[in-house]
Structure 1
């Protein structure tokens, strides 16, 4: 999993974000919805019960801090961090902007049921489930030295998730 984070140069903690703050959020539907879910998890907003994968700011049920939202190209997060109160930035974009989600964000996604849809999965067609090459790839991916390489290469921001397929059932 590559966690999405909330970053701020103005505030050290999520609770410090003031009334009327401006939050930069991705202008693409999937990242925007993911960001809104994270803002809800952080306690800043409440989303409508039927909020879905393509939810938007119009699906905010309760905005007690009267936050303002500025839609941005999700690849520009590190460049706008100084011009807004907080910005939602995906892990890869954060790394490219020299930000570390686990140490620089003021709040970020954790591996739990609410983020299971954001976990990257090695998958194939059912007809290939016994393919020895694919099985070898999965085994290699989870080897200690490969996980160590990934951890070092990406500074610990790509989190290994070992869950059974039943974990991903809805």
Structure 2
């Protein structure tokens, strides 16, 4: 056996040993920016002995169920008000361990150029989950399109509308289906990730856009029992690195905003 062959064999052995000892962490995301950002995080964790397995979900319900049941180790797709609502309604023992990015939600339209141009009786589609639907209602209320009960906060619902001068027809639709429904309504409040997947520009296209400041920064969530585990610290450190902030700024050009 030559020295070159011996060195190659040792290198292969070390590589296989490292691969075998790598800790696999399954993290749930929704398609689009959340998945893209985690793909950029993945190689930063490999030298730490963590193999990040990114699993995509097409809705907002299953990732928390999968985390709670142990099918996932973490998820990264939701903002804090949504997580709080899920924990309250379903009793999940999961919690956030870090903020990630903010996706200012927008109202889009194929039929009018300004929110003030919506005609009497116009149909406006909003997400059918409590927090994102409420988020659009608050956005409409902040612009004076409707009025809501005092103090409703992030839990606003259609039942909280106290004044609707234009008799808008508020239609609740699954968040992922809103871009597809856009041609059939006068306007729709669409989450940034779904807007981008549909080819909409979340910075230029909305006729009304949420302020980037507010309670809707997204989070990484884990089971409460896991929050102090070493892999959680490594995941957060990699996500909050300068490399990932630079990636977010260059990739999304203002449609997705880093929280750190």
Q: TM-score, normalised by structure 1?
A: 0.78
Counterpart mapping for 1:90-129 below 5 A: 90-112=191-213, 115-116=214-215, 118-121=216-219
Does residue 150 of structure 2 align to residue 49 of structure 1? Answer: yes
1:143 Cα deviation from its structure 2 partner? 4.0
- Alignment match of 1:2 (pick from 80, 103, 108): 103
| Aligned counterpart, 1:146 | 244
Distance 1:133 1:76, change over 3 A: closer
Q: Which string of whole-angstrom CA distances, capped at 9 and with x for unpartnered residues, describes residues 1-22 of structure 1?
A: 1111100011111222222211
Instruction: Kindly tell me the number of residue pairs found equivalent between the two proteins.
Output: 158
1:139 Cα deviation from its structure 2 partner? 5.0
| Aligned counterpart, 1:81 | 182
Does residue 241 of structure 2 align to residue 157 of structure 1? Answer: no
Distance 1:142 1:28, change over 3 A: closer
Distance 1:134 1:28, change over 3 A: closer
Higher share of residues assigned strand = 2
Counterpart mapping for 1:36-75 below 5 A: 36-75=137-176
**For the residues of structure 2 that align with 1:29 and 1:128, how far apart are their CA atoms?**
26
Q: Which string of whole-angstrom CA distances, capped at 9 and with x for unpartnered residues, describes residues 49-90 of structure 1?
A: 131443311100111121111221111111111111100101
1:111 Cα deviation from its structure 2 partner? 2.4
Higher share of residues assigned helix = 2
Unaligned runs of 5+ in 1: 163-170
| Aligned counterpart, 1:23 | 124
1:106 Cα deviation from its structure 2 partner? 1.1
Which stretches of structure 1, 4 residues or more, deviate above 4 A after TM superposition?
122-125, 131-140
**For the residues of structure 2 that align with 1:62 and 1:9, how far apart are their CA atoms?**
25
**For the residues of structure 1 that align with 2:176 and 2:250, how far apart are their CA atoms?**
23
Distance 1:72 1:123, change over 3 A: closer
| Aligned counterpart, 2:136 | 35
Unaligned runs of 5+ in 2: 1-101
Q: Which has the higher contact order (CA 8 A, sep 6+)?
A: 1
Q: TM-score, normalised by structure 2?
A: 0.53
Q: Does 79-88 or 26-35 show the bigger shift?
A: 26-35
Contact 2:146 2:164 (8 Å CA) reproduced: yes
